[in-house]
Amino acid sequence: MRFFIAKLIVFFFFTYQITDCQASVTDLKIADSLFAEKKYQEALQIYDQILEDGAYSPAMLLKMAFITEGMGEFPTSTVYLSKYYSHNPNPKVIAKIKALTNQTTLVGYNVSDGQKFLKFLIDVNQEITAAFTLLMLLFLIAIFMFPKLRTGFYVPAFVFLGLAFASNNFLKQRETAIITGAPTLIMDTPTAAGNLIRKVDAGHRVVIKSSQDIWYEIEWNEKTAYIKKENLSKI
């Protein structure tokens, strides 16, 4: 009975994931069909919903950037391109953002090998957590099925429990945003009376560390700085 219940939990977990993915794929096909028919605004509405649900593809982001650029919404287009860059760090994307924002240099687009590896782990986070959870359940089942050997199963069960908890709660991408205000003041304290670090135009990408009233605490040139929330769009 315990083994049956454990299998049932795992079955419903994966069934939920598959059903959710299938719904997103169906919506994406509908939106792509509308895009092919040049019904851009209708396609954009569906793309926005898919993006809000967090089930998007890099190709979809490019299409959204194309649509919003055609609508003259350049700041929104740069947000989609910047999000696309997180998945595909291509110099052509930076060149396009520079063209849209009339910038010659941009901050925050360098991607190290460590960041690429972390991004890979984050992309497969659900699969990693599911694998650790399944292994934990198998060891828990073994504890009840083999009482004479249960002592040897306690440690791996708790280890996989800790790994599942860690991957589910800590294996997350740092929150990033793109500067959309022009000009934007970067301050050393969360107040207009602070010292000005730099005045920048739209297009730069920053890491958000925390939120304080109308300000975001960010990283700027490896130092703590502050920008008003109205001048940032989260990626």
Question: Chain-wide mean pLDDT for the chain?
Answer: 85
pLDDT of residue 168: 85
Give per-residue burial for 166-202: e unless 16+ CB within 10 Å, then b: ebbeeeeeeebbbbbbeebbbbeebeeeeeebeebeb
Q: How many CA atoms lie within 13 A of 48 on its CB side?
A: 10
Render pLDDT for 141-160 as a digit per residue (tens, 0 to 9).
888 888 888 888 889 989 99
| Confidence category of residue 22, pLDDT binned at 50, 70, 90 | low
pLDDT(179) > 80:
yes
User: Has this prediction a pTM greater than 0.75?
Assistant: no
Find the mean pLDDT for residues 198-226.
92
Beta-bridge partner residues of 207: 176, 219
Task: Dig out the tokens for 78 from the structure.
Answer: 């740069």
CATH topology of domain 176-234: SH3 type barrels. (2.30.30)
pLDDT(37) > 90:
yes
**Which H helix or E strand runs over 187?**
strand 184-187
Task: Dig out the tokens for 170 from the structure.
Answer: 């800590």
Q: DSSP class of residue 198?
A: E
